Chains A and B, each alone.
Chain A
Amino acid sequence: MDGTIYSAWLFTAALGLTLIYGVMKIVNVTHGSFYALGAYAGASLTGAWLAAGYPPMLSYVVLLVAAVLVAIVVAPLIERGILRFMYAKDEVVILLITYALFLILEDVIKLIWGVNPYFIAEPYALLGSFEVGGLAYPTYNLILVLLALVSGVGLMWLLHSTRVGKLLVAVIHDPEVSRAMGINVHRYYLATFTFGSLLAALAGAFTAPTVSVVPGLGVEIIVLSFAVVVIGGLGSLPGAALGAVIVGVVRSVSVHYWPAVELFVIYFVMAMVLAFRPRGLFSLAEPRKI
């Protein structure tokens, strides 16, 4: 059960990262910032909502709205303002640019919200709890699982069953030919970046009730979601799901039976997977250029 909850959380957080990499070939460090921004926006908006005495049941909707707000305001700003001038550059240079942006956003968050923690504990305890094997779990955790399922399945459906999604798949495979066929590649990049960031912000917003929202929140999530995505195969959606499940289960097992190794077990799994499947578990064959 702990494994399921943790996996679901990881999956939601990592999904956007793999989407952005898959489409744009950007290893996006600002993903962590969006996670933190989502958490801050979620915590402060919901806090205000509850303080104003509105029905607490609707606070889940407020969390959703907060994440959407963050994504549609900040993501286009970054993509249009900075990243779009950089697409011709090396993958690594773009990674560094996103790292610089991450540093800037960390302080921007601090300037907006200060260093004091934000809590909104009400939504976590509101739904009561259920028991599995004699252990109590707050029902809120099921929302996290649901969120992961909806975003995963939704994204799959979007990519494979809608016109937009199919065009996006074309862009993934060959941006140049797509452009020649009359697809506005730039618009797709913008949409992908915004949507990927939305997923990060969602993960952040819905984590907010279970944690205290503090500076530095975004740093942890970056490496974790990288590990998940790499284990599954960069750019692969089922890979991200499998990666999240593996990391979640391995971590829970180690917590229960061998807590001492919990610290690096995730990296160990990552190294092992890479050692035997150099491109991750689900990876596309890459053409050899001669």
Chain B
Amino acid sequence: MVLVALLTGGLFLPQWAMFIVTIAFAKALVALGLMILLRAGLISFGQALYYCLGAYAAGALGRFLGIADIFVQMLAGAAAAGIAAFILGFLLAKYRGIFFGLLSLALSMILYGLLVKNETLGSTDGFNILPSTLFGTRPGPAWVRYAVLASAAVVSLGLALVVHRYLRTPLGRLAPAIKDNEIRVEYMGASARYAVHVIYVVAAVLAGVGGALAATTVGHIDPDMAFWTTSGEFIFITILAGTGSVVAPFAGALIYEIIHTTAYDLSPNTWQLSLGAALLIIIVFLPQGLWSLVSKMSTRYARHP
């Protein structure tokens, strides 16, 4: 139902708005991963690592193998990020709090450094990736934005449903328990480390898909995708959205993009100030994120039908 609404609604959007919504989907996927990490009390200042890996995996497919199918690209992004996270997870699953965040930051900055040094991949200039195709066909110029948007919507919705289900499994319910008191979790006989490792890989896969999607949408990738400011942007979206529901990151990302583009548009000289002020206001007045508005409304509605 939601999918149909999204797909038909998308048809009426102007092209530039389709682009913004698609980018919002890509960023929302990363934020969704951060959200499930946050439920376990973990905050990663280096999620851009997987975002960037996903993007470069998608870009490499086109550059070296000539494959530009949008679904294959997303799959490659997911695989690259998942494998990397599985390996790094053995190290990171031990860490909590600010140290988890800072170690992930260091790892993503190392990737940044490696990419900047790599001149065959264009160093900081990055490289352009092939125009995306859909099941082997290339949609015409009038439809390509919509095709990318529709693919993004389908994949995002599917992943959001999977995450929604996952949150209701025993392993998914362990996350808030780890946040509250890890030792009690261990006494219960569950392995916090295993749970964190799983969550970490899931979050990375989501970021990898987001990165691949962003790459194919923008058509260009560069090492800045792994820079710490990119990670900061994702954290901002996550906090902005709140952790109430899997829908929250999507709403948060869209609103973030709208604030961002409006700030650029209205005050080209002081957009940082506008952006900072808008975000400050949201954090101060809606500490639980924007989603708390929705939950408040629905409880009020439930009380006074």
Contact = CB atoms under 8 A, between A and B. Distances in A.
A contacts B: CB pair < 8 Å: yes
Interface of A: 27, 82, 85-86, 89, 91-93, 96-97, 99-104, 106-108, 110-111, 223, 226-227, 230, 234, 260-261, 263-264, 267-268, 270-271, 274-275, 278-279, 288-290
Given A100-B277, A106-B272, A270-B106, 20 more contacts: A91-B97, A91-B98, A92-B235, A93-B283, A93-B287, A96-B283, A97-B280, A97-B284, A99-B236, A100-B279, A100-B283, A104-B272, A107-B272, A107-B276, A267-B113, A271-B106, A274-B99, A274-B102, A275-B103, A289-B181
Main secondary structure of the interface of A (DSSP, over half): helix
A102 B114 CA distance: 28
Contacts of A99: 232, 236, 276
B138 interface: no
Q: Among the interface residues B91, B232, B236, B284, which one has the most CB atoms of the partner chain A within 10 A?
A: B284
B218 to A, nearest CB: 23
Interface of B: 43, 91, 94-95, 97-99, 101-103, 105-107, 109-110, 112-114, 116-117, 181, 183-184, 228, 232, 235-236, 239, 269-270, 272-273, 275-277, 279-280, 283-284, 287
Nearest to A277: B99
A264 B112 contact: yes
Nearest to B38: A92
Contact of B94 (A86, A261, A278): A278
Nearest to A102: B276
B98 A100 contact: no
Contacts of B98: 27, 91, 234
Contacts of A100: 276-277, 279-280, 283
Nearest to A103: B276
9 contacts: A82-B280, A92-B239, A93-B287, A106-B273, A107-B270, A107-B273, A107-B276, A268-B106, A271-B107
Nearest to B235: A96
Contacts of B269: 110
